[in-house]
Amino acid sequence: MSSPPPSILPRKPDESEMAYKFRLAALDNYAQLLPEPAPFQECYIFFYDALTSPDTLQKVLSLDHPPVLKNATILAHVIKKWGRYPAAILAPPGPTVPRISGKVYRLTQAEHLERLKAYETNKYCLDSGFATIEGEIEQYCWLFYWNGSPDELEDL
């Protein structure tokens, strides 16, 4: 059994040695059932916030050159506000399908995706959608959408 070091998963104060070993074994067995994470693949990511600015994106990704951003729209999402920050959410069902305007960027490195996740914080998580790039190409892409309570959002 490969258990985590005690400093990472300490024994509870009232836990017997045997119960502790069973807990570690259960965690180890569960971890073996989890699939391996998929390797990173190049992809498009859609931005609708401050990251539509090449200067901001260049700083966040620590690029030595300005990023190439393309105009795009994405279907079935609407923008609300979390304080002064925009937050995309799925649009409620209705007779028309709304679009958000923004930019897409081609991610080529897993490190860049990790930097974007850190920038967006845990209040946003990744969702997928189809973007229309420069009015022509329908492309599968990722976007960060609201991951908090809907009660925290306001209409624009």
pLDDT tens-digit series, residues 34-81: 566 678 889 999 999 999 999 999 999 999 999 999 999 998 789 999
CATH 3.10.490.10 fits 43-152, yes or no: yes
How far apart are alpha carbons 35 and 129 in whole angstroms? 24
How far apart are alpha carbons 113 and 45 in whole angstroms? 9
How far apart are alpha carbons 142 and 83 in whole angstroms? 23
pLDDT tens-digit series, residues 75-111: 878 999 999 999 999 888 888 888 899 999 999 999 9
Residue 2's pLDDT band, with cuts at 50, 70 and 90, is very low
pLDDT tens-digit series, residues 123-146: 999 988 889 999 888 888 999 999
Q: What is the pLDDT of residue 6?
A: 44
Contact 125, 147 (CB under 8 A): yes
| β-sheet bridge partners, residue 105 | 45
